[in-house]
């Protein structure tokens, strides 16, 4: 491995730095975006039980806010539970945008690494080829085996760039999909809590079989 790094020359230095940075981001996001850390099991049901029983003191809501992103979203809904339903939904959407931004932290950097890796690898290859052809210009072709070896060394940077970019791209897409899944689940939990703290009035519920159709005038 050390010989390959030496063969790639100085363009390998930024590729090594990018690989270390990508690995650090992947490990950090994998730990932060664990399902148990984002959506603790049973938390939504527990909060709905609190709301149904009226156990919603400020200290309880603050402790809920610190548990997880889902807890922060549900706490935001409980903060404005006495306001109209539309205002509660607006608060949920505002807090949800901030939570998504927090969950997507460092993902733009990871996407940049996945795009820059192959370009840096290609740049290293071009630099190596230029050096090789300048050597041919000064000393002639010489040994064909040596020429082939120089080409192989120049291509080391291209391979290294792909090695850095492919895992970064896979991780970037996987984290994006995981966050999208979390958003759907958090929205579902928030809607259920909203229905608990402000149930629909009886007059708004349609009787079975009416389907919301007004009977004609004079109908008995």
User: How do residues 24-46 score in pLDDT, each as one tens digit?
Assistant: 999 999 999 999 999 999 998 88
pLDDT tier, 57 (very low <50, low <70, confident <90, very high otherwise)? confident
What is the distance between the alpha carbons of residues 22 and 15, in angstroms, rounded to a whole number? 10
**What is the C-alpha to C-alpha distance for residues 190 and 23, in angstroms, rounded to an integer?**
34
Q: If pLDDT is split at 50, 70 and 90, which confidence band does 19 have?
A: very high
Q: Are 89 and 205 in contact (CB under 8 A)?
A: no
Distance, in Å, from the CA atom of 131 to the CA atom of 120, rounded to the nearest integer, reads: 17
Q: Return the SS3 of 78.
A: helix
Q: What is the pLDDT of residue 140?
A: 62
Q: What is the mean pLDDT of residues 98-122?
A: 92
CA torsion 51→54→56→57, rounded to 10°?
180
> In terms of pLDDT, which residue wins out, 80 or 176?
176
Any residues with CB less than 8 A from the CB of 153 and at least 6 apart, and which?
A: 7, 8, 128
Which of 126, 145, 159 is CA-nearest to residue 1? 159
Mean pLDDT of 200-206: 43
CA angle 93, 94, 100 (to 5 degrees): 80
Predicted confidence band at 7 (pLDDT cuts at 50, 70, 90)? low
Instruction: Give this prediction's pTM.
Output: 0.77
In the numeric block, which tokens belong to residue 218?
């004079």
Mutual angle of helices 107-139 and 144-197, in 10-degree steps:
170
Rama region for 22: left / alpha / beta (φ>0; ψ in -120 to 50; rest)? alpha
Query: CA 135, 136, 137, 139 torsion: positive or negative?
Result: positive
Phi, psi of 34 (to 5 degrees): -60, 145
The single-letter DSSP state of residue 200 is P
pLDDT at 112 over 90: yes
Task: Tell me the average pLDDT across 199-219.
Answer: 43
Choice among 63-77, 94-108, 127-141, 201-215 with the minimum mean pLDDT: 201-215
196, pLDDT greater than 50 = yes
């Amino acid at each position: 491995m050390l010989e390959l790094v030496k063969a790639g020359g100085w363009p390998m230095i930024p590729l090594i730095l990018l690989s270390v940075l990508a690995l650090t981001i992947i490990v950090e996001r994998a730990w932060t975006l664990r399902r148990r850390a984002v959506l603790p099991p049973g938390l939504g049901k527990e909060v709905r039980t609190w709301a149904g029983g009226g156990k919603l003191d400020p200290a309880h809501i603050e402790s809920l806010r610190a548990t997880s992103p889902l807890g922060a979203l549900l706490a935001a809904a409980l903060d404005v539970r006495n306001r109209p339903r539309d205002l509660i939904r607006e608060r949920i959407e505002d807090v949800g945008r901030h939570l998504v931004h927090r969950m997507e932290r460092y993902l733009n950097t990871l996407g940049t690494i996945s795009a820059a890796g192959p370009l840096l690898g290609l740049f290293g290859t071009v630099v190596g080829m230029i050096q090789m052809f300048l050597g041919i210009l000064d000393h002639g072709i010489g040994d064909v085996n040596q020429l082939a070896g120089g080409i192989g060394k120049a291509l080391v940077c291209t391979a290294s760039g792909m090695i850095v970019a492919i895992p970064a791209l896979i991780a970037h897409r996987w984290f994006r999909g995981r966050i999208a899944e979390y958003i759907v689940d958090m929205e579902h939990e928030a809607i259920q809590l909203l229905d608990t703290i402000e149930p629909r009035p009886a007059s708004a519920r349609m009787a079975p079989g009416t389907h919301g159709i007004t009977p004609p005038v004079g109908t008995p």
